[in-house]
A and B are shown apart, each in its own frame.
Chain A
């Protein structure tokens, strides 16, 4: 130890100077990245937590209010409505946007023709700006002259008020959301299916397994990881739903107000109550971070 220290001390100044120089240069390359993360990622995180204990409306300087924001949240009936609606949306979105693409992907994967067509068609809506999908469907949903009711009427099927009917409003939001996003899940499922080794299916078939048994005992277990990863991704994404309720049913509709819409309402409409919105954000963050952490854990382990 002493020898090493001595020899290092001997060549010390030069080496040290070079190491400092190297580090300085490295941090020069890192500077812009560090600054943008510090200002727009790490700082807002801290600020968000602080803000949730403050009163801040851009008019008076922020001041501490302790747990008042959280108390106000729990006293607001809309708080519970928003969470209930968000969970309803997430649940329905799982049925439509998680299960349906899986079945679709299994079927497409069996096709020996038109594979490219199916992949492109299902992904096309994903490329559209979300507002385009939502506005387009807004016209389809129009109870008077919308395409859906026209077609249903022509087929002598019952029509609906869609987004304007309390019963159908949430389902309408889920449908447009699924239409515009299911392409991503489908492509990912297809990728997963393509990695299942042929030998497994061959062996299962030799053992006399029916098609359904092959799905049950080969496809499902082999897709376990992709299914789980997509489940978590989907939950995290759908719990942040905003644009569909914002555009289709508005920010004051109690049938469809979601957590994000309520945050938007608190912070960016009449009152500019940033503290209250921040408190709501902190709660959403805690819920989502738990899911994100599980997701990152899983994908890390897979590597």
Chain B
């Protein structure tokens, strides 16, 4: 979101407003978009007049080309670089369109660099971490919002206080905690739990979820309990179905965050067999055993899942970020 790697458990997401009436139509309707008709710095009239129109056109095209060059071309270079031979890649004059064509490099990288294994590792850690985060954080937020136990406010405050802790500053004690978990005295290094359990302690998720649950009318909860639903049943059949927008936001940020994480997996997954694709690619890059085209193939494969997520949830991600900017 800003200029460097955000700490792992810290996505910035919005608090979507819950539907006031839980009717089927209201739930299905996409959130109202702000109309684009509002004017900005320069009026439409100015942009449509003679010189203004020319300046507008030129600026628009220049920016569009610059954006393509700066943000999209490197990815094109990566994807096409993988099918070039190392010799072509090392040429003093770069070739825009590959002169040599070896798509099998992707397959070679997959087997030689064991990309398949690392991709599977990463997917496993990501999905597991996401599920555990959801279960733990939804339950906690539900308790804090709707069951309101004594000292609940204190607990929430202490959880939120952890938002002030930069993950990086807690790196060393967190590592030692994972090496020897207090009370249980187990060593989580090289196990998925080293990623999953610390990830579950996500104050931001709990805050966003609680804010959303708070807006679900108490009458709905009471009605469910009069109908004989227990606490869990109420959560499952009343609260969760209403909470799809917030659950999807929390989920997207959890998945993207887990996939992008680097420093923490680097520390706790020392065993090469257990590593995530990011950590493995970094390790391989230091060995000198990987050619440039194979590395490009590995980088492209590592990016693909996130690009797909972005293409599917692009609106949710960008709007989520926007709402986060406005609400803090």
- Seen from chain A, the residues whose Cβ lies within 8 Å of a Cβ on chain B are 22-23, 25-27, 29-30, 32-34, 36-37, 39-45, 47-48, 51, 56, 58, 93-94, 96-98, 106-115, 117-132, 135-140, 144-145, 147, 150-151, 153-154, 174, 177-179, 181-185, 187-198, 201-202, 205, 211, 214-215, 218-219, 226, 229-230, 233-234, 236-238, 240-244, 246-247, 260, 263-264, 267-268, 274, 277-278, 281-282, 284-285, 288-289, 292-293, 296, 298-300, 302-303
Contact = CB atoms under 8 A, between A and B. Distances in A.
A238 B4 contact: yes
B92 A29 contact: no
Contacts of B244: none
A285 B201 CA distance: 19
A115 B63 CA distance: 11
A137 B2 CA distance: 19
B39 A202 contact: yes
Nearest to A23: B149
A211 B175 CA distance: 53
A260 B172 CA distance: 11
A47 B38 CA distance: 53
B226 interface: no
B139 to A, nearest CB: 5
Interface of B: 1-7, 34, 36, 38-44, 47, 56, 59-60, 63-64, 67-68, 70-72, 74-75, 77-78, 81, 89-94, 135-137, 139-140, 142-144, 147-150, 152, 155, 158-159, 162-179, 181-183, 197-198, 200-201, 203, 206, 231, 235, 256, 259-260, 262-263, 267, 277-279, 281-282, 285, 292, 295-296, 299, 302-303, 306-307, 309-310, 314, 317-318, 321-328
Contacts of B299: 132, 135-136
B299 to A, nearest CB: 5
B139 A32 contact: yes
A281 B171 contact: yes
B302 A112 contact: no
Contacts of B6: 237
Given A41-B201, A194-B322, A267-B171, 17 more contacts: A27-B143, A41-B198, A43-B173, A44-B176, A45-B162, A47-B176, A97-B3, A121-B67, A131-B279, A136-B296, A187-B321, A211-B42, A240-B168, A289-B164, A292-B165, A302-B327, A302-B328
Contacts, number: 371
A123 B318 contact: yes
A13 to B, nearest CB: 18
B3 A238 contact: yes
Contacts of A98: 2-3
Contacts of B135: 32
Contacts of B321: 184, 187-188, 191
B61 to A, nearest CB: 10
A129 B200 contact: no
B326 A26 contact: no
A281 B327 contact: no
Contacts of B81: 139
